[in-house]
Amino acid sequence: MASDEQPQIYLISPPEFDLSTFSEELGAVLDVAEIACVRMALATRDEDRLSRAADTLREVCHQRDVALVIDNHILLAERLGLDGVHLTDAGRSVRKARKQLGTDAIVGAFCGVSRHDGMSAGEAGADYVSFGPVGASALSDGESADFETFEWWSQMIELPVVAEGGLTAELIGQLAPVTDFFGIGEEVWGDDPKAALKALLAPLG
């Protein structure tokens, strides 16, 4: 990616949310910021809850021409008319997802801090790979995806790359020249998501 191009924003839902209020919050954020894609990342495995949430968020997103993908649930993505799936198994399911969902679907792969897994996911047909966390996160094993990983990827690999996890305004300023997307989620879902997002993206001007 050329360093004079601004990275796009890839919005990630919280792992838990109240559907009635979150759909309004999401709509408000989509109305004030240019968002390339939304990822529904609910932690629940309850199919009914996932389906109801996906139906509601799909309507919010598609009214605004924003793509909606879901974490891991390939069959639900197909059944509910979502735009694709985000896989969290370092790309091992990419071929299966591509075969199930077809060439037009978005298939992304979270690859932690591993360049090798990223390349394997790309070879298997992923549309993008995601590395992270880039900042300090209690949810990780202590490893983080460093600037060099994104710099190397942007120079060597054409496949779009997403930086996510523990983002700060400072990290966004540092990584902007070497990533295609910022995956932003827990960083902004508080009392005022619009203000939080604006502050986080301030370094992008």
What residue ranges do the domains of the chain occupy?
Answer: 8-204
Cα 97 from Cα 106, distance rounded (Å): 9
CA distances from 142 to 90, 113, 145, 164 (A): 17, 11, 10, 15
What is the pTM for the complete model shown? 0.95
The amino acid present at 188, given as its one-letter code, is: V
pLDDT score for 140: 58
Cα 92 from Cα 156, distance rounded (Å): 22
CA distances from 28 to 22, 34, 131, 138 (A): 10, 11, 27, 29
Q: Does domain 8-204 have CATH number 3.40.50.300?
A: no
With cut-offs at 50, 70 and 90, classify the pLDDT of residue 2: very low
Tens-place pLDDT, residues 60-74: 999 999 999 999 999
- 151-174 average pLDDT score: 97
Q: What is the 3-state secondary structure (H, E, C) of 123-141?
A: HHCCCEEEECCCCCCCCCC
Quote the tokens at residue 36: 């390339």
Residue in the block written with tokens 């020249």? 177
